[in-house]
Amino acid sequence: MATRQPMQIGVVGLGRMGADIARRLMRDGHSCVVFDLDPDTVTALEKEGATAASSPADLVGKLAPPRAVWVMLPAGQITGTAIDELASHLAAQDTVIDGGNSSYRDDIRRAADLARRGIHLIDCGTSGGVWGLERGYSLMIGGDADAVEPLRPIFLSISPGIDTKPRTEGRTGQPDPAEHGFLHCGPSGAGHFVKMVHNGIEYGMMASLAEGLNILHHADAGKDNAEGDAETAPMEQPEFYRYELDIAAIAEVWRRGSVVESWLLDLTAAALLRSADLEEFTGRVSDSGEGRWTSIAAIDEGVPAPVLTTALYSRFASRGLDDFAGKALSAMRKGFGGHDEKRQ
Amino acid sequence: MATRQPMQIGVVGLGRMGADIARRLMRDGHSCVVFDLDPDTVTALEKEGATAASSPADLVGKLAPPRAVWVMLPAGQITGTAIDELASHLAAQDTVIDGGNSSYRDDIRRAADLARRGIHLIDCGTSGGVWGLERGYSLMIGGDADAVEPLRPIFLSISPGIDTKPRTEGRTGQPDPAEHGFLHCGPSGAGHFVKMVHNGIEYGMMASLAEGLNILHHADAGKDNAEGDAETAPMEQPEFYRYELDIAAIAEVWRRGSVVESWLLDLTAAALLRSADLEEFTGRVSDSGEGRWTSIAAIDEGVPAPVLTTALYSRFASRGLDDFAGKALSAMRKGFGGHDEKRQ
Amino acid sequence: MATRQPMQIGVVGLGRMGADIARRLMRDGHSCVVFDLDPDTVTALEKEGATAASSPADLVGKLAPPRAVWVMLPAGQITGTAIDELASHLAAQDTVIDGGNSSYRDDIRRAADLARRGIHLIDCGTSGGVWGLERGYSLMIGGDADAVEPLRPIFLSISPGIDTKPRTEGRTGQPDPAEHGFLHCGPSGAGHFVKMVHNGIEYGMMASLAEGLNILHHADAGKDNAEGDAETAPMEQPEFYRYELDIAAIAEVWRRGSVVESWLLDLTAAALLRSADLEEFTGRVSDSGEGRWTSIAAIDEGVPAPVLTTALYSRFASRGLDDFAGKALSAMRKGFGGHDEKRQ
Amino acid sequence: MATRQPMQIGVVGLGRMGADIARRLMRDGHSCVVFDLDPDTVTALEKEGATAASSPADLVGKLAPPRAVWVMLPAGQITGTAIDELASHLAAQDTVIDGGNSSYRDDIRRAADLARRGIHLIDCGTSGGVWGLERGYSLMIGGDADAVEPLRPIFLSISPGIDTKPRTEGRTGQPDPAEHGFLHCGPSGAGHFVKMVHNGIEYGMMASLAEGLNILHHADAGKDNAEGDAETAPMEQPEFYRYELDIAAIAEVWRRGSVVESWLLDLTAAALLRSADLEEFTGRVSDSGEGRWTSIAAIDEGVPAPVLTTALYSRFASRGLDDFAGKALSAMRKGFGGHDEKRQ
């Protein structure tokens, strides 16, 4: 594990994550041939030592076989198209690493396709976001061991490295790859499956923090408590809800010694320090595929994931996608109780 | 059970439900002495045969002891004040029936207070909303049997009666009170406890219908499916979401023979017939005390009620009370992924 | 709508629902040719007036073109196989009605296949369970109008009929089909899509009732309240949880006049009457496809369905499918707090 | 903040957390007078340099006024009794710090009581579990500033200290107390209110991890997929669920560079390393008061906390407290569909 012999690798897709991955590789002495549809990003990386390619074909031509190409594109459909194009120039024994957020089901299908031509497809769930250059990326890898094993020096350079965290109690001797921050999870799709569940957990942890902060935010609800009417019960014990809490300071104090210590908490503390009211945000929360797929996987497997799915649904609701349901509820209330909807 | 001997009863609070209860009583030959802070409602009932009272004291004076007074006021605080005022004029052996939506905990406390002076307090959860005159009211009664038993003719007249529904399979012989639509549930508070849980169930059933209708409402989501980006995965199989459904007709068809047959469905079908888009509503859904108390009871008892509590929380969220949580989520997403919030 | 002209129809699958559908049809004067792998069920129906068939081919041969065959089989895979077999004997202009619980996605694919040979496939969500002979079935129909329209006499006979329920307020004049209990919901798959959501709602309504009853069941939790320890807080106000409630009577009283009036409540009241402790059941709750598919549809559409999905997950959990999650929680608690798991 | 002048303090309750707090204090040069009902724990601390007390009165006598006494007892009731006993020996200007997991409502009441005699009560939410000696404790403090401020050297010694974590981006200059790991959150009760919400979040984060790990655990569900029947749909795409994942390694790989980095994950990785199947646990998960109180606070405030409450309910369900609900569901299924419960 200690040897990090230099390799040559192609990188397709030079957005924030793709470019930073190339930088981590070059920093460790690997040579990168890079391509992106935006020539400016290619030029920028070239100045940092990369070899520029003008097209997928050019990139393939500049790599010595057996080639390895890391594809780092944002969405599933674009990734699929790019891999198809790239693969048309590759040969048997070459390897494509899909580092994006593809569905693991697509990986399984695509790997089987490429395998017919002797080309390996590795799916590599890549976590780390915009901080990866500094922190390194957590890598969850799926595919044939024959293809994964030779790329170990690459994974070693991209992943954070064992020194970024104390060893887990009970681990001794030669570190496992997982302790460096990369893991060959299983056959094709396994990497993105694990990354998918990682993101599902992320949704739940984020929602846990967000709900808790919201309870703190409303800890003064007893101060301006309306007196209630037939529609709304008044707060029964307003004397227990008269706190005005400094939420930014609370997030900060939890960062050290508490049970909820986490990177998400660190980021939250930083955001609240910038603006305690988070004014730059509206509260309409996006979601991408992994959170959805995680819930679908739970349903398919028949295992309960109420926290993860509830976290997902809260995002849908934050974008107003339950409006019709709310209207139906108000209509029923009017139907049986004659209740008019209250305007705020 | 068959004999419905006429009784005299006071009714305090002549809103929709109070007035209709008086009407059902008079329809069965009972004599009502009625009072409300709004003299117009008193006059209206007087024209229908009630004896008007000009004050709680006047009402008490016009009733022969041992008296029974049904208090039907909207919110807990008003009810408490009214019962205190009323009780100051009552004597030992008199009975107050709290027919409103008081917290069962308040009933327990108040009944103990009144008991010191020999006055009975009966808590009577009363379901039926604005339809009670026609359908009758489901009555859930708590308090001492000594006080409850003599009022049976009253409960018989207010409740729907056994003929409004086929008998439950297996029930034979002399009908139980429950089959008429009233039940002495237990000691003080038991009536409102059962009514509270009834409303908790109501929240869950309403949310079940509302969520299902919303899924039908969005069954055309594949028609205008955006192509997705790094933030949002495109719909993977839009071909499965291209239905434009007639939701009013669907609610109607379910009314006969389906498993979801229910009064709430009947009301929903009527509302959708008036306006398939439910345009008169905004989707901001109110809640009153019972839904909240039901969830608190579940937590106190240590039993899971995820469906009922989720239904409650969806109402809170429909009123924007999770905005800060949404902002925190967007802030975290920006923190780790550089994602800007999408404006719709 | 009034004319119920006699038609001829084949019925394949004579389980409880299939046989009862044939009975409802024959009761209205239609003639049925019936087939089932179990010859006894065929013989039984023959005695009631049906024409027996010894094979799908025989059934097809005994029907005059253009033929209509109702396929009523339990699970999706069996239905697919049976329709394929049947279709191999059918001709253009014939119609197959899939009345089972197939996935609407399968219907879309299968209808497109059969359409190439001019055969119509109608998907007909059929609700009513074991009570359909008596109550009639709620029918949710998908497919081409050309195929659906001629079968109207069939649907009229199978559905409950308008007289089984008061008309929805606002409906006047000639009744719609939906008021009889059948609805052409849209193109292929629309019927089973609507039936799927119906079942999703059913899960939520069932869970609402079940959770509420469980809260009532534990209303005596304050009686034997343990004193608590570092692991468990003692009940803070045990005086509020000392009711011993007659749950069978409560279910009965809600049947008349309450907001939760529903067929599910009727069935619950009957079950509780037989055994207040429901001793014949273990509490391990099955689920079939529709509840799962409903949640997946919500996720695909991007709309929140927290109540419906939570209801689904509770069923999974009731079968022990969250055991590993529970172990992980106990392991974490031991990790940070040194807490040993409590044995019951 | 830099000066950590030595103080004298009493410590009542020498369980794991109380003893370790005394040790951290003595390590920083403070002098501790200690008492516990178990004399062995007192003797043990005496050997480490503490002054032993034989009773609360003795402890108070050995402290110079104005006194400060840290009470560190497991459950609320015991804490209340101990503080009452202790306070009977204290004088005006003395301060009691309640470091346990009391309800913040109890703190508010108790602080008002003690204030009548001039005694200060500080509520101090203390997070850190069995690791506090090493990691320090996160301290969330409520009470009068007059009482809190003089104890700053004590809080500095107990809390982790700023060096245990990189500073939050944007924080410069003289560190805030929150950066050391303690925070005066507000008036009486505020400390335990914040600690309560902290634990609520903890429940949600734990459940997020647990649910995700369970999905990974069942990623092989397609291998032994039953074929389904009328009760259970067969897995539709078993080919997507054939992974046998090394969950201990996955927890490890997420520890570096991923978005779910957290102390809870670290503990989980350690537990899975000891036993990948977590065999020593049954999956019956305890809960203590804070998780419940957090949900009740959300309900009282009227803000949604579906993830936190769902996490709580999952614990209840893990202990079989939804059995009656499950039986009711099975009874309904039998009622409408004739379905018998499946024995596993």
ipTM of the complex: 0.96
Instruction: Return the H-helix or E-strand segment holding A7.
Output: none
Contact B313 D295 (CB under 8 A): no
Strand partners, C31: C8
Contact D181 A253 (CB under 8 A): yes
Q: Is A212 on the interface with D (CB under 8 A)?
A: yes
Interface test with C, best of B176, B261, B266 (most C CBs within 10 A): B261
pLDDT band of residue C2 (cuts 50, 70, 90) is very low
- Residue D207's alpha-carbon distances to C287, D210, D211, D310, D314, in angstroms, are 23, 5, 6, 9, 8
pLDDT band of residue A342 (cuts 50, 70, 90) is confident
Contact B303 D322 (CB under 8 A): yes
pLDDT band of residue A130 (cuts 50, 70, 90) is confident
**pLDDT at residue D89 greater than cutoff 60:** yes
B and D: number of Cβ contacts within 8 A:
64
**Torsion sign (Cα): A35, A36, A39, A44:** negative
Percentage of residues of chain D with pLDDT beyond 70: 95
**pLDDT at residue D75 greater than cutoff 80:** no
Select which of D202, D236, D279, D301 is catalytic.
Answer: D202
**pLDDT at residue A4 greater than cutoff 90:** no
Instruction: Tell which residue, A6, A12, A16, A20, has the closest CA to residue A48.
Output: A20
Q: What is the mean pLDDT of residues B41-57?
A: 98
**pLDDT at residue B2 greater than cutoff 50:** no
Query: Could you give the CA distance from residue B309 to residue D317 in angstroms, rounded to a whole number?
Result: 15
Q: Per DSSP, which regions of B50-155 are E strands?
A: 51-52, 68-71, 95-98, 120-127, 138-142
Q: What is the pLDDT of residues A150-197, one digit of tens each?
A: 999 999 999 999 999 999 999 999 999 999 999 999 999 999 999 999
Residues 14 through 43 of chain A touching chain D, CB cutoff 8 Å = none
Q: What is the pLDDT of residue B231?
A: 54
Q: Give CA angle at C130 (C125, C135), nearest 5°.
A: 80
CA max distance for chain A? 77
Which chain B residues are within 8 Å of C252, Cβ to Cβ?
Answer: 168, 171, 176, 178-179, 183
Nearest CA in chain D to C269: D332
Q: What is the pLDDT of residues B90-101, one digit of tens each?
A: 999 999 999 999
Count CA atoms closer than 13 A to A31's CA, side-chain side: 10
Percentage of residues of chain C with pLDDT beyond 70: 95
In sequence order, which residues have a C-beta less than 8 Å from that of residue C286 and are 6 or more positions away?
C315, D231, D232, D330, D333, D339, D341, D342
Strand partners, B52: B34
Contact A261 D262 (CB under 8 A): yes
Contact D338 C270 (CB under 8 A): no
Distance from CA of A305 to the nearest CA of C (A): 7
Q: Is A317 on the interface with C (CB under 8 A)?
A: yes
Strand partners, C97: C70, C122
Which is more confidently placed, D76 or A134?
Answer: A134
Q: What is the mean pLDDT of residues B149-173?
A: 96
C85 and C59 Cβ atoms separated by less than 8 Å = no
- Residue B191's alpha-carbon distances to A303, B8, B123, B200, B296, in angstroms, are 38, 23, 6, 14, 17
pLDDT band of residue D2 (cuts 50, 70, 90) is very low
Q: What is the pLDDT of residue A234?
A: 72
Q: What is the pLDDT of residue C228?
A: 53
- Dihedrals phi, psi of B234, to nearest 5 degrees: -70, 155
Which chain B residues are within 8 Å of A315, Cβ to Cβ?
Answer: 329
Does the annotation mark A202 as catalytic?
yes
**pLDDT at residue A15 greater than cutoff 60:** yes
Contact A209 D209 (CB under 8 A): no
**pLDDT at residue B77 greater than cutoff 90:** no
**pLDDT at residue C344 greater than cutoff 90:** no
Q: What is the mean pLDDT of residues A93-120?
A: 96
**pLDDT at residue D4 greater than cutoff 80:** no
Distance from CA of D127 to the nearest CA of B (A): 23
- Pair of tokens at residue C343: 């044995």
- Dihedrals phi, psi of A296, to nearest 5 degrees: -65, -40
Nearest CA in chain C to B265: C262
Q: What is the mean pLDDT of residues C149-178?
A: 96
Which chain C residues are within 8 Å of B136, Cβ to Cβ?
Answer: 256-257
Q: What is the pLDDT of residues D79-88, one digit of tens each?
A: 999 999 999 9
Contact D286 C342 (CB under 8 A): yes
Which chain A residues are within 8 Å of C313, Cβ to Cβ?
Answer: 298, 304-306, 309
Q: What is the pLDDT of residue C227?
A: 54
Query: Could you give the CA distance from residue C141 to residue A229 in angstroms, rounded to a whole number?
Result: 45
Q: Which of A75, A230, A315 sits opposite B233 (nearest CB)?
A: A75
Contact A75 B230 (CB under 8 A): yes
**pLDDT at residue B124 greater than cutoff 50:** yes
pLDDT band of residue C232 (cuts 50, 70, 90) is low
Q: What is the pLDDT of residue A2?
A: 46
Q: Which of D304, D313, D336 sits opposite B304 (nearest CB)?
A: D313
pLDDT band of residue D1 (cuts 50, 70, 90) is very low
Q: What is the pLDDT of residue D39?
A: 97
Q: What is the mean pLDDT of residues D90-103?
A: 96
Q: What is the pLDDT of residues D237-268, one digit of tens each?
A: 999 999 999 999 999 999 999 999 999 999 99
Contact A309 C313 (CB under 8 A): yes
**pLDDT at residue B227 greater than cutoff 70:** no
**pLDDT at residue D200 greater than cutoff 70:** yes
Q: What is the pLDDT of residue C109?
A: 96
pLDDT band of residue D3 (cuts 50, 70, 90) is low
Burial (CB < 10 A; 0-12, 13-18, 19+), residue B9, is buried
Q: Is D324 on the interface with C (CB under 8 A)?
A: yes
Q: What is the pLDDT of residue B236?
A: 83
The secondary structure of A94-147 as a DSSP string is -EEEE-S---HHHHHHHHHHHHTTT-EEEEEEEE-GGGHHHH--EEEEES-HHH
Q: What is the mean pLDDT of residues C191-206?
A: 98
Select which of D62, D179, D195, D290 is catalytic.
Answer: D195
Residues 93 through 132 of chain C touching chain D, CB cutoff 8 Å = 103, 129-131
D343 and B324 Cβ atoms separated by less than 8 Å = no
Nearest CA in chain A to B227: A77
Q: What is the pLDDT of residue C278?
A: 97
Q: What is the mean pLDDT of residues C171-183?
A: 97
Interface test with C, best of A316, A323, A324 (most C CBs within 10 A): A316
b vs e for A142-155, b when ≥16 Cβ sit within 10 Å of the residue's Cβ?
Answer: bbbeebbeebbbbb
Query: Could you give the CA distance from residue B191 to residue B195 in angstroms, rounded to a whole number?
Result: 6
Helix H, strand E, coil C: the string for C240-262 is HCCCCCCHHHHHHHHCCCCCCCE
Q: What is the pLDDT of residue C288?
A: 86
Percentage of residues of chain A with pLDDT beyond 90: 89
**pLDDT at residue C101 greater than cutoff 80:** yes
Q: What is the pLDDT of residue B192?
A: 98
Q: What is the pLDDT of residue C231?
A: 54
**pLDDT at residue C49 greater than cutoff 80:** yes
- Residue C27's alpha-carbon distances to C31, C48, C134, C256, in angstroms, are 9, 10, 12, 32
> pTM for this structure?
0.96
Residues recorded for chain B: 344
**pLDDT at residue A228 greater than cutoff 60:** no
> Worst-scoring range by mean pLDDT, B2-16, B151-165, B256-270?
B2-16
Q: Which of D232, D306, D325 sits opposite C286 (nearest CB)?
A: D232
Q: What is the pLDDT of residue D74?
A: 83
Q: Which of D302, D314, D321 sits opposite B303 (nearest CB)?
A: D321
Q: What is the pLDDT of residues C113-129, one digit of tens each?
A: 999 999 999 999 999 98
Q: Is D285 on the interface with A (CB under 8 A)?
A: no
Q: What is the pLDDT of residues D263-286, one digit of tens each?
A: 999 999 999 999 999 999 999 999
Contact D304 B296 (CB under 8 A): no
- Pair of tokens at residue D17: 């957390």
> Worst-scoring range by mean pLDDT, C126-135, C323-332, D258-267?
C126-135
Q: What is the pLDDT of residue B48?
A: 98
Q: Is D305 on the interface with A (CB under 8 A)?
A: yes
Residues 151 through 180 of chain B touching chain A, CB cutoff 8 Å = none
**pLDDT at residue B188 greater than cutoff 80:** yes
Q: Is C237 on the interface with B (CB under 8 A)?
A: yes
Query: Could you give the CA distance from residue D128 to residue D150 in angstroms, rounded to a whole number?
Result: 23
Q: Is B311 on the interface with D (CB under 8 A)?
A: no
Which chain B residues are within 8 Å of C253, Cβ to Cβ?
Answer: 138-140, 177-178, 181-183
Q: What is the mean pLDDT of residues C228-253?
A: 85
pLDDT band of residue D343 (cuts 50, 70, 90) is low
Neighbours of chain C (3+ CB pairs under 8 A): A, B, D
Instruction: Return the H-helix or E-strand segment holding B26.
Output: helix B16-27
Which chain D residues are within 8 Å of B322, Cβ to Cβ?
Answer: 303-304
Contact A232 B338 (CB under 8 A): no
Which is more confidently placed, A310 or A5?
Answer: A310
**pLDDT at residue C76 greater than cutoff 80:** no
Instruction: Tell which residue, B312, B235, A309, B228, has the closest CA to residue C304.
Output: A309
Select which of A48, A202, A252, A327 is catalytic.
Answer: A202
Q: What is the pLDDT of residues C251-297, one digit of tens each?
A: 999 999 999 999 999 999 999 999 999 999 999 999 989 999 999 99
Average pLDDT, whole number, for chain B? 94
